[in-house]
């Protein structure tokens, strides 16, 4: 029976607003008393109540005793519902509109979803509606415009969409509108100007467009106007100066343009002015100085110009925050910014990102300052020693300027200082030991200066330090041994200095250290075992030092490591101690002396993106487990002793951009699956023992920039699919056994700037299409192949080319004059071919070696084309041999004739003087003496051949000898013999 009664009451509660609206009966309010319980139970039924705050809502209890329900004292009429912040979810039931006497509804700060019930517009007694900070969706119901007594409407921080209904302008009693942090669009309705009682209008963080309606000037009671973070544009209307009650004006992060209206100086009650992040131009209006109540002025991130002198903190006695950063302001920091009489309230001054010059001495009169940021300007001079006059200073940011000189020791007197940022200036000198007095200092940034000296031990007295960055100075000496005193240190950046010595063992006491950068120094010794205590360490870079020895086993305990770079040191032993973390994203150990194999445990870091182990003594097979590193982008295992095949599991690393395996002893074929690595930009497999051909699938790596397969045992033809690599910059296939022709499809690789195909067995002609590679610059090397045909004139179109090597081929014909267009060429080698004709004139500046071994070439730097031809060595040998043979034949013939003559003469003498012994014996003696040279046995013939043999030997070692030159230039053999050979005829 009770259930039926409740059900009937709920039906009546739902119909009651309709009856009330039609009949306007006074009995409606009385009916609410009877039905409030049923109405609220209907509202409860739409909620999910995880904390049970509504568990006491039951028909048996007095509704006015329910949690969150307020009633009119003594009458039992529900006037208020407050369920804010109870983690309620679900929807707002339309039944809530049956609470016709309710004056306040607060369901804010829950997780309610669904739409705002339009039925709420019937609650004529409603004065406060708070639905903000939920997950409500849909549009703002225009029916809310019927709430004639509504004073406070706060429904922001939801997911409301659509436009602001102009009907809200009918809520004539509205004092507060809060619609911030939604997804509202469209313009601000001008009907808002009808709300004469409006005091607060908050429309921040939406996507509103258009300008500020002029009608807002009618809201003369407006105290807060906040429309920040929208897309409002146009100029700031001068009528805004009529809002004499305005205390807070926030137009930040919109697209307002034009000048700041001087009428803004009429807002005498203004305490907060925020115009940051717009497109305002012009100068800062002096009228701002009339706003004596101003406490905060933020004009940053605009295009304001002129000087700062328009602002006078001495006139704005209450000004605490002055923010003018990221504008186009110039000039100097004015002396009158603070008058130094102690009346200034300026606490925070931000002038960063302008074009201010001069020094900062003018700020010394602003003794109340706690924060100064004048970074990213063009300030000069020194940091004044009197900086300690600003005794309350907490933050001092002077970075990215041109300050010079030393860091004054008086800086140690700023006992409240927490941030000292002086990086990227021209500071010199050492760090004053007085800095050790700054016990509150948390951030110390001195990087990118010219500071010298040792890092003082006193710095370790700054016990609050959290970040220290001295990158890019000239600090020398050791890292302070007491560095472990900095128990709060999270970042230590000492990279690129001249530090020496070992890493202090006390560093292990910096238990909060997260990032350690000691790279680019001269540190030596071994890593201390205490490193293993740095449990929070995430990033450690030690590259470019002289650290040595095996890694301490304690490093394996560092489970939070994400980036390790120990490259270019002298570490030895295994890499296992670095693999305790499974969160590594970078492991770079290039150029050390690590040995052993790559442990399979390295694959536990599934998020690794860079693995660089090049230049070590690692050996064995490349582990298949590397294929589990599916996020890997860079894999460099070059210059080790790896052997075996390239593991197919690497095909799982589909994000690889750099794969470098050169300088190992890998065998097997170049795997076709490499073509599936579509992100691959660099593939270097050179200097291995790979066999087989180039897989055509490599042509699918469309983003490839470098392909190097040189120094292997590859064979077959170069596939034309390489022409599909249209982004290729470097193609190096030299020192293999490739055959066939150079594919003309290479012309499609029109971004090539380096092409090396030398030391193969390529044949056929040079494709003229190579002249269509406009970016070819570093080298075109086709040497030591079997190329034939003529040099294509199109190579003259490679106007950026610096080196051209076509030597040791079978090229013939003339050197094309088009090569004269190669004005950037500084190395040319056409030697050892079959080229002929004259060398084009401008190429004569190259040495003779560039053209040697081409028999038919002439012209500078070779002999001129009109001079006798210089014979090659083989022809010279044939000619010399022929001369020797002819000479021997002549001598034999002459000897024969002389013997015949002597025989005849002897016969004659014998006949005529047979009776005269003395005459005969005298002639016989003379003949015997002559036979010493011309004996028939030829015993002394070699005297005449010595010079010929000597001349041939001299040609072999010195082509400049006069004797050889006379022979090579075709002088008669007799003349050649006459230059040094014994003439047999004259001797005989």
Q: How many CA atoms lie within 13 A of 281 on its CB side?
A: 4
Please compute the mean of the pLDDT values over residues 777-787 and round it to a whole number.
Answer: 98
Are 490 and 514 spatial neighbours (Cβ–Cβ below 8 Å)?
A: yes
Dihedral of the CA atoms 529, 533, 537, 541 (nearest 10)?
-10
Tell me how far apart the alpha carbons of residues 432 and 410 are, in angstroms, rounded to a whole number: 9
The DSSP symbol for 36 reads H
Q: Is residue 599 over pLDDT 70?
A: yes
Q: How many CA atoms lie within 13 A of 385 on its CB side?
A: 5
Q: Is residue 30 over pLDDT 90?
A: no
Q: For residue 614, give the nearest of 592, 637, 634 by alpha carbon.
A: 637
Q: For residue 819, give the nearest of 786, 850, 787, 841 by alpha carbon.
A: 841
The DSSP code sequence of 126-177 is --EEE--SS--BSBPPGGGGG-TT--EEE--SS--BSBPPGGGGG-TT--EE
Q: For residue 252, give the nearest of 270, 267, 273, 281 by alpha carbon.
A: 273
CB atoms within 10 A of CB 897: 10
Confidence at 338, pLDDT banded by 50, 70, 90: confident
- Helix 917-934 with 873-912: angle, nearest 10 deg: 170
At residue 674, φ and ψ (nearest 5 deg) are -60, -30
Confidence at 849, pLDDT banded by 50, 70, 90: very high
User: To the nearest whole percent, how much of the chain has pLDDT over 90?
Assistant: 80
Choose between 25 and 720: higher pLDDT.
720
Q: Is residue 26 over pLDDT 60?
A: no
Q: Is residue 575 over pLDDT 50?
A: yes
**pLDDT score at 663:** 98
**pLDDT score at 892:** 55
Helices (H) and strands (E) in the chain, counts: 8, 60
Task: At 987, list the tokens.
Answer: 């001797």
Confidence at 899, pLDDT banded by 50, 70, 90: low
Tell me how far apart the alpha carbons of residues 554 and 508 are, in angstroms, rounded to a whole number: 11
**pLDDT score at 977:** 32
* Phi-psi group of 496: left, alpha or beta (phi > 0 → left; psi -120 to 50 → alpha; rest → beta): left
Tell me how far apart the alpha carbons of residues 433 and 435 are, in angstroms, rounded to a whole number: 5
Q: Is residue 988 over pLDDT 90?
A: no
Cα dihedral sign for 942, 947, 951, 954? Answer: positive
**pLDDT score at 868:** 53
Q: Is residue 917 over pLDDT 60?
A: no
CB atoms within 10 A of CB 268: 12
Task: At 303, list the tokens.
Answer: 């295009």
**pLDDT score at 168:** 97
- Residues forming a β-bridge with 113: 91
- When the pLDDT of each residue in the chain is averaged and rounded to a whole number, the result is 87
The DSSP symbol for 2 reads H
**pLDDT score at 73:** 79
Dihedral of the CA atoms 883, 888, 892, 895 (nearest 10)?
90
Residues in the chain: 988
Q: Is residue 589 over pLDDT 90?
A: yes
Contacts of 852 (CB under 8 A, 6+ apart): 831, 832
Choose between 29 and 760: higher pLDDT.
760
Are 140 and 117 spatial neighbours (Cβ–Cβ below 8 Å)?
A: no
Confidence at 895, pLDDT banded by 50, 70, 90: low
**pLDDT score at 313:** 74
Confidence at 309, pLDDT banded by 50, 70, 90: confident
Tell me how far apart the alpha carbons of residues 980 and 690 are, in angstroms, rounded to a whole number: 60
Contacts of 254 (CB under 8 A, 6+ apart): 227, 228, 229, 230, 231, 232, 233, 277, 278
- Alpha-carbon radius of gyration of the chain: 49
Query: What are the start-end ranges of the E strands in 410-565?
Result: 419-421, 443-445, 467-469, 476-477, 491-493, 498-501, 515-517, 522-525, 539-541, 546-550, 563-565
Please compute the mean of the pLDDT values over residues 64-79 and round it to a whole number.
Answer: 89
Write out pLDDT tens, residues 210-225: 999 999 999 999 999 9
**pLDDT score at 881:** 57
Q: How many CA atoms lie within 13 A of 220 on its CB side?
A: 2
CATH of 37-232, one of 1.25.40.10, 3.30.56.10, 1.10.238.10, 3.80.10.10: 3.80.10.10
Are 429 and 447 spatial neighbours (Cβ–Cβ below 8 Å)?
A: no
Query: Containing H/E element for 41?
Result: helix 27-45
Task: Count Cβ neighbours within 10 Å for each residue of 724-756 and write b for 16 or more, e otherwise.
Answer: bbeebbbbbbbbbebeeebbebbbbbebbbbbb
**pLDDT score at 888:** 60
Residue 299 CA, distance from chain mean position: 32
At residue 619, φ and ψ (nearest 5 deg) are -140, -175
Are 773 and 752 spatial neighbours (Cβ–Cβ below 8 Å)?
A: yes
Write out pLDDT tens, residues 711-755: 999 999 999 999 999 999 999 999 999 999 999 999 999 999 999
Are 99 and 81 spatial neighbours (Cβ–Cβ below 8 Å)?
A: yes
Contacts of 819 (CB under 8 A, 6+ apart): 791, 795, 796, 804, 825, 828, 840, 843
Tell me how far apart the alpha carbons of residues 346 and 318 are, in angstroms, rounded to a whole number: 8
Q: How far, in Å, are 704, 781, 818 from residue 770 at the CA level?
A: 19, 12, 14
Tell me how far apart the alpha carbons of residues 75 and 520 are, in angstroms, rounded to a whole number: 83
Please compute the mean of the pLDDT values over residues 36-40 and round it to a whole number.
Answer: 92
The DSSP symbol for 494 reads -
This prediction's pTM: 0.78
Task: At 609, list the tokens.
Answer: 């993106």
Q: For residue 772, give the nearest of 739, 803, 747 by alpha carbon.
A: 747
Query: What are the start-end ranges of the E strands in 294-347?
Result: 296-298, 321-323, 330-332
Are 748 and 772 spatial neighbours (Cβ–Cβ below 8 Å)?
A: no
Q: Assess whether the previous peptide bond of 861 is cis (omega < 30° from 0).
A: yes
The DSSP code sequence of 224-279 is EEE--SS--EEEPPGGGGG-TT--EEE--SSEEEEEPPGGGGG-TT--EEE--SSE
Q: Is residue 326 over pLDDT 60?
A: yes
Task: At 690, list the tokens.
Answer: 């790979």
Are 675 and 653 spatial neighbours (Cβ–Cβ below 8 Å)?
A: no
**pLDDT score at 350:** 98
**pLDDT score at 170:** 96
């Amino acid at each position: 029976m009770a259930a039926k009664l409740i059900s009937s009451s709920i039906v009546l509660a739902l119909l009651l607003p309709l009856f009330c609206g039609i009949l306007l009966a006074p009995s409606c309010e009385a009916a609410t008393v009877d039905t409030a319980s049923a109405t609220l139970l209907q509202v409860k039924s739409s909620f999910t109540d995880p904390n049970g705050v509504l568990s006491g809502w039951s028909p048996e209890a007095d509704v006015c005793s329910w949690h969150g329900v307020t009633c009119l004292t003594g009458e039992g009429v529900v006037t208020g519902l407050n369920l804010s912040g109870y983690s309620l979810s679900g929807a707002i039931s339309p039944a809530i509109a049956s609470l016709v006497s309710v004056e306040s509804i607060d369901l804010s700060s829950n997780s309610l979803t669904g739409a705002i019930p339009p039925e709420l517009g019937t609650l004529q007694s409603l004065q406060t509606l708070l639905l903000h900070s939920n997950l409500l969706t849909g549009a703002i119901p225009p029916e809310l415009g019927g709430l004639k007594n509504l004073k406070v409407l706060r429904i922001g921080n939801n997911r409301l969409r659509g436009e602001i209904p102009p009907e809200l302008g009918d809520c004539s009693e509205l004092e507060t509108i809060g619609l911030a942090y939604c997804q509202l669009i469209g313009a601000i309705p001008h009907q808002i100007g009808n709300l004469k009682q409006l005091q607060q209008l908050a429309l921040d963080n939406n996507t509103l467009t258009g300008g500020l309606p002029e009608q807002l000037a009618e809201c003369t009671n407006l105290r807060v106007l906040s429309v920040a973070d929208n897309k409002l544009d146009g100029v700031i209307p001068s009528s805004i100066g009529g809002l004499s009650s305005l205390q807070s004006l926030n137009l930040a992060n919109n697209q307002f343009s034009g000048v700041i209206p001087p009428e803004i100086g009429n807002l005498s009650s203004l305490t907060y002015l925020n115009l940051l992040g717009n497109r305002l131009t012009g100068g800062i209006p002096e009228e701002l100085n009339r706003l004596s109540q101003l406490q905060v002025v933020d004009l940053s991130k605009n295009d304001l110009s002129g000087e700062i002198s328009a602002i006078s903190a001495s006139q704005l006695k209450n000004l605490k925050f002055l923010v003018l950063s990221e504008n186009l302001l110039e000039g100097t920091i004015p002396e009158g910014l603070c008058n130094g009489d102690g009346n200034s309230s300026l606490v925070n001054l931000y002038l960063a990102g302008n074009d201010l010059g001069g020094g900062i001495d003018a700020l010394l009169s602003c003794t109340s300052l706690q924060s100064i940021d004048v970074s990213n300007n063009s300030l000069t001079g020194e940091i004044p020693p009197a900086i300690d006059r600003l005794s309350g200073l907490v933050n001092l940011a002077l970075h990215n300027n041109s300050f010079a000189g030393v860091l004054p020791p008086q800086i140690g007197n700023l006992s409240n200082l927490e941030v000292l940022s002086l990086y990227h200036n021209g500071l010199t000198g050492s760090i004053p030991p007085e800095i050790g007095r700054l016990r509150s200092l948390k951030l110390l940034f001195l990087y990118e200066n010219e500071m010298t000296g040792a890092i003082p031990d006193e710095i370790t007295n700054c016990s609050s330090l959290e970040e220290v960055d001295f990158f890019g100075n000239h600090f020398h000496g050791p890292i302070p041994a007491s560095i472990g005193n900095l128990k709060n240190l999270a970042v230590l950046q000492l990279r690129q200095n001249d530090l020496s010595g070992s890493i202090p063992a006390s560093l292990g006491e910096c238990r909060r250290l997260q990032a350690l950068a000691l790279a680019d120094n001269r540190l030596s010794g071994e890593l201390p075992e205490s490193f293993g205590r740095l449990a929070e360490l995430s990033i450690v870079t030690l590259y470019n030092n002289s650290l040595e020895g095996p890694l301490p086993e304690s490093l394996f305990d560092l489970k939070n490591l994400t980036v390790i770079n120990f490259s270019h040191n002298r570490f030895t032993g295994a890499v296992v101690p670095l693999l305790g973390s499974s969160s590594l994203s970078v492991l770079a150990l290039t150029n050390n002396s690590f040995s052993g194999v790559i442990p399979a445990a390295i694959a536990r870091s599934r998020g690794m993106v860079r693995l660089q182990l090049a230049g070590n003594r690692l050996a064995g097979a490349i582990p298949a487990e590397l294929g589990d590193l599916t996020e890997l982008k860079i894999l460099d295992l070059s210059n080790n002793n790896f052997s075996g095949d390239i593991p197919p599991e690497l095909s799982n690393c589909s994000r690889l951009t750099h794969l470098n395996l050169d300088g190992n002893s890998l065998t097997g074929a170049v795997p076709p699956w490499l073509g599936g690595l579509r992100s691959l930009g660099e593939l270097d497999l050179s200097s291995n023992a790979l066999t087989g051909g180039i897989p055509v699938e490599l042509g699918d790596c469309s983003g490839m920039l470098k392909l190097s397969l040189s120094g292997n045992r590859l064979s077959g033809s170069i596939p034309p699919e390489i022409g599909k690599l249209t982004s290729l910059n470097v193609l190096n296939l030299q020192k293999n056994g490739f055959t066939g022709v150079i594919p003309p499809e290479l012309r499609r690789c029109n971004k090539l700037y380096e092409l090396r195909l030398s030391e193969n067995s390529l044949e056929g002609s040079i494709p003229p299409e190579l002249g269509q590679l406009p970016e070819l610059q570093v080298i075109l090397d086709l040497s030591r192949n079997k190329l034939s045909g003529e040099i294509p004139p199109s190579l003259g179109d490679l106007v950026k080319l610096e080196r051209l090597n076509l030597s040791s081929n079978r090229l013939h014909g003339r050197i094309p004059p088009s090569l004269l267009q190669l004005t950037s060429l500084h190395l040319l080698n056409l030697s050892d071919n079959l080229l002929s004709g004259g060398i084009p004139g401008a190429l004569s500046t190259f040495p003779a070696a560039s053209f040697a071994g081409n028999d038919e070439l002439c012209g500078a730097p070779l002999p001129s084309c009109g001079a006798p031809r210089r014979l090659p060595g083989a022809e010279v040998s044939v000619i010399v041999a022929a001369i020797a043979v002819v000479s021997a034949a002549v001598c034999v013939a002459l000897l024969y004739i002389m013997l015949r003559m002597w025989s005849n003469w002897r016969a004659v003498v014998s006949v005529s003087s047979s009776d005269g012994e003395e005459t005969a014996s005298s002639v016989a003696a003379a003949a015997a003496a002559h036979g010493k040279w011309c004996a028939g046995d030829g015993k002394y013939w070699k005297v005449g051949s010595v010079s010929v043999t000597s001349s041939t030997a001299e040609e072999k070692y010195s082509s400049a000898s006069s004797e050889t030159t006379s022979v090579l230039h075709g002088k008669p053999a007799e003349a050649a013999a006459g230059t040094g050979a014994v003439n047999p005829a004259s001797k005989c």
